Amino acid sequence: MSETDSPSNERDLQTSATYRALANSLPLSVLIKSCDGRRMFANEAYLRWRNLRWEDVAGKLDSDLFDEEIARRYSDDDRHVIQSGQAQHAVEQAPISDGSLGWIERVKSPIYDSSGKLLGIQVLFWDVTARIQAEQKSRFEQSLLHTLLKNIPDSIYFKDLQSRFIRVSQAMAEKFGYQNVDEIIAKTDADIFTPEHAEQARKDELEIIETHVPLVDRVERETWPDHEDTWCMTTKMPLVDEEGKPIGTFGISRDITALKRSEAALQEAVRMADAANRAKSEFLANMSHEIRTPMNALVGMADLLAQTDLNEVQSEYVDTIRRSSDSLLRLLNDILDFSKIEARKLELESVPFSLVYEIQAAISTLRYQGAKKNLQLRLEYEDELPQHFIGDPGRIRQILINLIGNAVKFTDRGGVTVKVQRQSGRPDMANDEIGSDRAANIVDGENAIDTGTTTLRVSIVDTGIGISPEQQATVLAPFTQADASMTRRFGGTGLGLSISRQLVELMGGTLQLTSEVGSGTTFFFDLGLMVANDVDLERNDDDLEEDLGGDDYVATNPLRVLVAEDGVTNQHVIAGLLRSLGHECSIASDGRETLSKWRNEQFDVVLMDMHMPVMDGLEATEAIRQQEMGTDQHIPIIALTAAAMAEDARLCRDAGMDDYLTKPIRRRKLQRVLEVIHPGPAHNRPASTGERSGTATDSSKTVDNSSRVTVEGTGRFVRSPDSSDRLVLANQHAGCLDLDSARSRIPGGVSGVLRLAAVFREECQSLVEHLEADLAAGDNDSARRNAHTLKGACGLLGAKRLQEAAGEIETAGREMQLTNPDESVSLLQSLQTESRRVLAAVDELLQ
């Protein structure tokens, strides 16, 4: 092989066994070309990569195997290697057997013989497609990360095990006061924040590195050495290598300083709103006090004036004063109710009541207004409906009075009808848990009373002026009437319907209406009410209209009352009311004078105004209670307040008062409070018991007692026998029943009381027999239910002692104590004794 171009040299090169064996053992492709570009040798790896045989490539040029562009590029590379005599290294795309393009890394170098003559070109290459693709993917991911870190507004960072920053986002760099992210590399939180913040951040990161537990969405306060604090929500994670070994931490945080400031501003706004709401409540309380104080004089003076001898014209004037005062009081109560509902502080009662009674009471309240316009007020109540339910009778009556009163106001002919029907469906009920199934009926006399829950539709139908469709959408809004002219014609604030709507909604219903102009309007609502099994028939007659010019009452046990009141007019009113009830009073104008009189004179009860100069009623009460400590003395103190807020009742209790009266003070309510007072020994007073009795007797001379009936040893009020419809019992039964109270609360007067007494006798006897059996068997539940029923029935006729005996059994049954024979025997004996006395009194009454 001394000559390069001799055929023998080429044959030697091609047939070199040693070279071929070496080339075929290599994992990379080997190709040898002659100087003119013909293929002289290819190893097995090349043929496999190309998926060809040696016969397919032997002596072939690049142009024979590749397209023109690739062939020209390969030829140019070969020419450059031959001309330069230098090896060439490159990574390039190359076609593979399936026709697709891959990537190869190749080395082209010249081949010389032993004499240095150029023989051709040797090409070595290998497939790097997977590596190039991985590098491309890595570069793409790096580009994504770079784009993210450069543009995201949140702070992103990576730290090593020493909590040094190794990479951060552009936003974080700018937040730290740097424009270039590289300036933060190798810094720590201690170089950025205050020592306190940096120390806490380092503790958190050490814990994350140790436990591998991330810290997610924690709100942090960032403290800086050179500007005010900021807030962020941060998430910190452990940074680990491919083997799971911790190499640092990384995290992301979002600046929420603006959000925190907005939150603080919102909290401040809520605080201010609460303060404004409290101010409004205080304003309403103060206005209530200011309005009720003169109203107390109006109502009280009208009360006293009505008890004097009046001619027909004067009686009409007094009646006008009364109605105007009641209108003012209802208006004030509407405003207070609206405020309570608006503040979500109005709570509903859940007590047994008679729906028929409440509707009849509402109709009775408005019957006078209806009669003046010749309107008929009627009730249509389905016969099969229950009579008694569990709910808030006061609020239901308020709804009815508002709706019926509104109907009467806008009706000039025809009438108003209240309809009550059972609803099979509940289109207006918010509580979907009320089922349509009803429990078994319990037969009570002739009426079948359901147990469970009944859905009722209550409708108030009038034949009035009607409401146009466009006005119906606003008529239930507060302070709204159908049009402005109605305010001038009919009056009113427009609160009644709004309050009624919200009360109905509080009870789970929806107040709706249908109307036709010129034909009338129907307001209706659905209520799901629990049917009462053991009905407490006691009536609270405080809401009934006052009978100012009616029956006279006399105290059989006259009291000496200390009245603490700074208003001169109110002093006259209260003094007049007390004298009309047969009591003696002494006036104190402030709390200090009250204390002085209480220490030096003899009184049975104190009526204490809450707001007085020098010393108010609360301070005076606390002083009295302080001086009573350590003794057995306790004088009853009744608060007098013109405020109507629940807070005032709490303040009275906390100060040590026994009860309170809200101004304007009604004669009946004053009588009720004083009726429960049973004076004991003199309380820290120099006068003797005999002197006290003498004083009371003398004071009673201001009332004509010549024809009064008194009951020895009782402190209740007894009706004068000169009434045309009196109810009188013999002395031996006088304390068994409170017939005057019964007559005042039972519709129908004397006849109504007698009818109820006949029903009560049979029910009482039956319930006592059931209780005897229950106690003998130790049946706590049955005894409790029967005792509760008996207690409620006793309350209607004022059978107080029997009511107390039944109440003791009810309490014992609730506490599971009736299984004790000794306890049961004692309770039963008390019940039997009182029931015999009451039944004897009822028998006398019915005769």
pLDDT at 698 exceeding the cut of 60? no
**Across the chain, what does the average pLDDT equal?**
77
The pair of structure tokens assigned to 435 is: 């089922």
Check whether residue 561 and residue 527 sit in a common domain.
no
Higher pLDDT, 480 or 120: 120
The pair of structure tokens assigned to 30 is: 């080997």
- 528 forms bridges with which residues in the sheet? 455
Contact 806, 794 (CB under 8 A): yes
Check whether residue 101 and residue 146 sit in a common domain.
no
Task: Report if residue 318 sits inside a domain.
Answer: no
Task: Report if residue 323 sits inside a domain.
Answer: no
Contact 32, 123 (CB under 8 A): yes
From 222, 255, 288, the end of a domain falls on: 255
Task: Report if residue 776 sits inside a domain.
Answer: yes
Pick the range with the lowest mean pLDDT from 204-213, 687-696, 805-814.
Answer: 687-696
Q: How far is CA 809 from the centre of its chain?
A: 37
Higher pLDDT, 344 or 241: 241
Contacts 24+ apart (CB under 8 A), 726-735: 726/750, 727/753, 727/845, 729/841, 729/844, 729/845, 730/844, 733/837, 733/840, 733/841, 733/844, 735/711, 735/801
pLDDT at 44 exceeding the cut of 80? yes
Q: Percentage of residues in the chain with pLDDT exceeding 70? A: 77
pLDDT in tens, 577-594: 888 788 889 999 888 999
From 255, 277, 312, the end of a domain falls on: 255
Contact 637, 604 (CB under 8 A): no
Q: Cα Rg for the chain, rounded, in angstroms?
A: 50
The 3-state secondary structure of 533-601, one letter per residue: CCCCCCCCHHHCCCCCCCCCEEECCCCEEEEECCCHHHHHHHHHHHHHCCCEEEEECCHHHHHHHHHHC
- 33 forms bridges with which residues in the sheet? 39, 121
> Per-residue DSSP letters for 277-319?
HHHHHHHHHHHHHHHHHHHHHHHHHHHHHHTS---HHHHHHHH
DSSP 665: P
Give the list of residues 6+ apart from residue 216 with CB closer than 8 angstroms, or none: 235
Check whether residue 159 and residue 249 sit in a common domain.
yes
CATH number at residue 237: 3.30.450.20
pLDDT at 718 exceeding the cut of 60? no
pLDDT of residue 12: 54
Check whether residue 107 and residue 12 sit in a common domain.
yes
Task: Report if residue 295 sits inside a domain.
Answer: no
Task: Report if residue 332 sits inside a domain.
Answer: no
Pick the range with the lowest mean pLDDT from 483-497, 620-634, 800-814.
Answer: 483-497
Check whether residue 396 and residue 519 sit in a common domain.
yes
Check whether residue 123 and residue 155 sit in a common domain.
no
Tell me phi and psi for residue 681, to 5 degrees: -65, 160
Strands of 384-452, DSSP E: 388-391, 415-422, 442-444, 447-449
Check whether residue 373 and residue 514 sit in a common domain.
yes
Cα(436)–Cα(316) distance, rounded to whole angstroms?
Answer: 52
Cα(747)–Cα(796) distance, rounded to whole angstroms?
Answer: 12
Residue 742: how many other CB atoms lie within 10 Å: 22
pLDDT in tens, 129-170: 889 889 889 889 888 888 888 899 999 999 999 999 999 999
Task: Report if residue 471 sits inside a domain.
Answer: yes
Check whether residue 570 and residue 670 sit in a common domain.
yes
The burial class, CB within 10 Å (0-12 / 13-18 / 19+), for 423 is middle
Cα(123)–Cα(25) distance, rounded to whole angstroms?
Answer: 16
pLDDT at 276 exceeding the cut of 60? yes
Check whether residue 17 and residue 97 sit in a common domain.
yes
pLDDT in tens, 72-84: 999 999 999 999 9
Contact 32, 24 (CB under 8 A): no
pLDDT at 488 exceeding the cut of 80? no
pLDDT of residue 686: 35
Tell me phi and psi for residue 362, to 5 degrees: -65, -45
pLDDT in tens, 322-339: 777 776 776 666 666 666
Distances in whole angstroms, Cα of residue 119 to Cα of each of 6, 7, 484 = 11, 12, 116
The pair of structure tokens assigned to 802 is: 């029997």
Placement of tokens 């004179």 in the chain: 601
- 302 forms bridges with which residues in the sheet? none
Which of these, 68, 12, 18, lies nearest to 40 by C-alpha position? 12
**What is the span of the domain harbouring residue 506?**
351-533
The burial class, CB within 10 Å (0-12 / 13-18 / 19+), for 553 is buried
> Per-residue DSSP letters for 229-279?
-EEEEEEEEEEE-TTS-EEEEEEEEEE-HHHHHHHHHHHHHHHHHHHHHHH
CATH number at residue 777: 1.20.120.160
Check whether residue 623 and residue 655 sit in a common domain.
yes
Residue 338: how many other CB atoms lie within 10 Å: 20
Check whether residue 376 and residue 484 sit in a common domain.
yes
Confidence of residue 744 (pLDDT cuts 50, 70, 90): low
Check whether residue 93 and residue 151 sit in a common domain.
no
How many domains is the chain built from? Answer: 5
From 473, 499, 533, the end of a domain falls on: 533
CATH number at residue 619: 3.40.50.2300
Which of these, 611, 589, 16, 2, lies nearest to 285 by C-alpha position? 611
End-to-end CA distance of the chain: 159
Placement of tokens 């997977």 in the chain: 130
The pair of structure tokens assigned to 13 is: 């090169």
- For the chain, count helices (H), then strands (E): 27, 26
Cα(147)–Cα(702) distance, rounded to whole angstroms?
Answer: 101
DSSP 702: G
DSSP 655: H
Task: Report if residue 280 sits inside a domain.
Answer: no
pLDDT at 694 exceeding the cut of 70? no
Calculated CA dihedral for residues 197, 199, 205, 208, nearest 10 degrees: -100
pLDDT at 2 exceeding the cut of 50? no
Residue 846: how many other CB atoms lie within 10 Å: 10
The pair of structure tokens assigned to 620 is: 């005076």
Task: Report if residue 309 sits inside a domain.
Answer: no
